Structure 1
Amino acid sequence: MKTGERARLEAYFARTAWEFAPSLVPSSLLVTRLAPERLPFVRVVGTVSRLRGVLPEPASGSGAASGAGDREAKREAERLFAVDELSRERFADPGTVLTYLETRAAGEPVVLLDAGGCFAPSLDVLCERFSGTVLGVVEDSDSGHRRYAAREKLPCPVVSVARSPLREPEEFLLGQSVVSAAEALLRGWRETPGARPALVLGFGRLGGSVASALRARGARVTVYDTDPERRAQALAQEYAVVADRAAALETAALVVCASGVLALRGEDFRVLPDGAFVTSVTGPAEAPDLSGLPDDYSRYTATRHVTRYEADDHYFYLHDAGAAVGVTRGAGVDPYPVLAQAETLAALRTLADGRPTRALHEVPPADRRKIAALWLHYYSER
């Protein structure tokens, strides 16, 4: 990160922390990706709360450079905070999670800053048996939002920033970026997305952006979503829409996973046409699961970011092992994610000071407007 970018980001977060600092400072646990551009956010969480533990999400992409940057970010975070392993298998056991919480914040009021619903399976036990107080959860991802929303009753308040309007700029650019990445790779094979029938799995904001970018490049786009309302929206926008995902996979030469949930399993890949190219725009937990892929498939490196899976009678390509493609930043830092990061701070204050009811909430619109105004002051307006 360049010196000027870092200074602007730190000034933005310093002002945001001043605006949304809770009067009763809680402890916190933070689930986040530890990348260089995320470190200022991690530090500001430690400013407005007693940050007792950082749980790094798996990296969203591949490549030696980004991997080295993430490792250095982790080392820097470890100099300031406790950094612990995030294992979704381990966090599925409520007793283990309770022990972890007691180790880090026994007897303290705690806000859980979640991503992907990591704390959802153990939340009842944490609220009932923790020696301190679970003030609530802030959820950052759409998949986690769905996990908490599916609960009939919540044992504590949950404030979701996953579907905030402040996420729209980032999600729009992310959808465009995944198509640009696929286009660059396909051009290396003297192809373009427009030459392949495309299937977009999921038609939320990310999926809609992907579909739009593919259509702009001349692709024949088909949309699948489990939600009939979203299928109706796609149809209204003149995309081909299918209700039978398996049948759609049989003719899809380019598949983009944008559903926010596990979209493809090993057995699904078998029905893809030869040479199909699969990529993803959602998080690591929702990346395609290859564990069910038949044993007769071998894997080869096709290019730096593409793996070829081949059996005697079938082959397909997987981009970055199914990990999500990030926003193409060039030499700079993408400024849009800091909108949602600031909203996380506002949500933390809501839980610490406002003590909302045991239900699913969003950040008040007045706080979102304040965040947008601050962001414009630092990143746009002159």
Structure 2
Amino acid sequence: MNPLYVKGAHFFEDIQPPHRSDLNLAVVTHLLDNPQVYLDSLHSFANLAMLLPKPKSICPKILEQLEKRFQVVIKNRSQMASAEVAAAILNNAVPRGDLVLVDIGGYFAACLSAIAPLLKANLIGVVEVTENGHQRYAVLPELAVPVVSLARSPLKGPEDYLTGQSIVYSAEALMRECHHIMNGGNAVVFGYGKIGRSIAKALHAKNINTKVVEIDPIRAIEARSRGFDLIHKDEALQTSDVIFCATGNQSLNNHDFNRVKNGAFIFSVTSSDDELDLSRADCNFTVNRVTEYVSRYERLGQYFHLANSGNAINFIHNAEVGPYIYLVQGEVVAAVNYLYENSLDQQIMELPTSIRRDLAERWLRHFS
């Protein structure tokens, strides 16, 4: 096994909580082509009753391996929005005991208020990893159970930063396969959040003319203070050769595609369901595959390129962020245990600083 994964396994052994025989987990996860030391860790202290792989980030080889060990259910977020459907799936996997939902992207947000009375198990809480998911839980009028969010944790910062770097790496690789390069063109980043900020910084470091579209005035000021010109969406679409969509909240709608500059490349940092409204574009444009992961959309003399069907491009190259992913996954382990050990209010919360500090110190001992 790669030494990185060996160290990861040792890190998870170091932070592993006591075994909880009555605790069950339903885990939304990406299934990338690497050893599943994180899932092994979760299963070592609780019953990993069900996996819900994100449909657009599944390595078939890893899926085949995990189906031999766990109950695996492949559903998208819209399918899990029905409380009856979600409850039936969960009841089949978890007929008794306590249950924690480990979420990526708010899979259970739409049904959370209605699902608890339908479950056979005792739902004690949710752990949410992403900002997109955090926002989906935050807009609910009330929460049926506590939600521990890691989206804004300082331990997630390194992963977010490296995700932005990996997005730019993947974008360059995909463009080169189409015999294009970024240098000499204009780039725009939609959204100056943690990942958008990292993308903009990586582009600037490569001497690529980069501007930012940001509707939040506080983030817009930060982008400006970092030397990035702010630009309105219309101008960005008409003048940018490379477009990075990093808002998590539909950067481009159906009408926007009509204004994209000829030949532009569009890249997303998350799933097309969240970032792009492609329902009419797929019908209004002729779509031809240029390479395995890049398609050309064309009509009436206008054309642009869309990568990975509008889904996150870094997963094409395994979304590699090194050992920093273990910080986030380690915080998931700690958050599950925190929900189990404490009677918490039904609200969104973060882990105490003392727990994060302990995780960081242990990570440093293994990886520094």
- Name the TM-score, length of structure 2 as normaliser: 0.92
Question: Cα deviations across residues 257-296 of structure 1 (Å, max 9, x unaligned)?
Answer: 1112232233321110100111112245424332211635
Secondary structure at 1:266's aligned position in 2?
A: coil
Q: Aligned match of 1:164 in 140, 153, 157?
A: 153
Q: Distance in 2 between matches of 1:104 and 1:159?
A: 23
Q: Is the 8 A contact 1:284 1:323 kept in 2?
A: yes
Q: Does 1:324 align with 2:324?
A: no
Question: Cα deviations across residues 46-75 of structure 1 (Å, max 9, x unaligned)?
Answer: 112111110000234xxxxxx7xx112112
Secondary structure at 2:322's aligned position in 1?
A: coil
Runs of 4+ with >4 A deviation: 22-25, 187-191, 327-330
Report the counterpart of residue 369 of structure 1 in structure 2.
357
Shift of 1:297: 2.0
Number of residue pairs aligned between Structure 1 and Structure 2: 367
Q: Distance in 1 between matches of 2:77 and 2:316?
A: 28
User: What pairs up with 1:202-217 in 2 under 5 angstroms?
Assistant: 202-217=191-206
Q: Distance in 2 between matches of 1:55 and 1:189?
A: 34
Distance verdict in 2 for CA 1:165–1:256, change over 3 Å: same
Shift of 1:157: 0.3
Q: Is the 8 A contact 1:173 1:327 kept in 2?
A: no
Shift of 1:208: 0.3
Q: Aligned match of 2:277 in 277, 289, 296?
A: 289
Q: Distance in 2 between matches of 1:329 and 1:375?
A: 25
Secondary structure at 1:86's aligned position in 2?
A: coil
Which sits farther off after the overlay, 295-304 or 6-15?
295-304
Q: Distance in 2 between matches of 1:144 and 1:273?
A: 32
Report the counterpart of residue 63 of structure 1 in structure 2.
none
Report the counterpart of residue 254 of structure 2 in structure 1.
266
Shift of 1:246: 3.4
Report the counterpart of residue 23 of structure 2 in structure 1.
26
Shift of 1:113: 0.5
Secondary structure at 2:36's aligned position in 1?
A: helix
Distance verdict in 2 for CA 1:346–1:141, change over 3 Å: same
Q: Distance in 2 between matches of 1:198 and 1:38?
A: 35
Q: Distance in 1 between matches of 2:11 and 2:205?
A: 35
Q: Does 1:9 align with 2:22?
A: no
Secondary structure at 2:289's aligned position in 1?
A: strand
User: Which one-letter code corresponds to 1:11 in the other structure?
Assistant: H
User: Which one-letter code corresponds to 2:88 in the other structure?
Assistant: T
Distance verdict in 2 for CA 1:80–1:174, change over 3 Å: same
Secondary structure at 1:370's aligned position in 2?
A: helix
Question: Cα deviations across residues 152-194 of structure 1 (Å, max 9, x unaligned)?
Answer: 3211100011221111112111211222222334455665424
Distance verdict in 2 for CA 1:46–1:285, change over 3 Å: farther
Q: Is the 8 A contact 1:58 1:284 kept in 2?
A: no
Q: Is the 8 A contact 2:271 2:310 kept in 1?
A: no
Q: Distance in 1 between matches of 2:97 and 2:182?
A: 53
Q: Distance in 2 between matches of 1:7 and 1:217?
A: 34
Q: Is the 8 A contact 1:5 1:333 kept in 2?
A: no
Q: Distance in 2 between matches of 1:303 and 1:148?
A: 38
Q: Is the 8 A contact 2:327 2:363 kept in 1?
A: yes
Distance verdict in 2 for CA 1:350–1:42, change over 3 Å: same
Shift of 1:99: 1.8
User: Which one-letter code corresponds to 2:80 in the other structure?
Assistant: F
Distance verdict in 2 for CA 1:199–1:128, change over 3 Å: same
Q: Does 1:43 align with 2:31?
A: no
Report the counterpart of residue 85 of structure 1 in structure 2.
74
Q: Is the 8 A contact 2:262 2:302 kept in 1?
A: yes
Q: Is the 8 A contact 2:28 2:54 kept in 1?
A: yes
Unpaired runs of 5+ residues, structure 1, are 61-66
Q: Distance in 1 between matches of 2:36 and 2:178?
A: 37
Unpaired runs of 5+ residues, structure 2, are none
Q: Distance in 2 between matches of 1:294 and 1:281?
A: 20
CA RMSD in angstroms, aligned pairs only: 2.3
Distance verdict in 2 for CA 1:285–1:296, change over 3 Å: closer
Q: Does 1:353 align with 2:350?
A: no
Secondary structure at 1:57's aligned position in 2?
A: strand
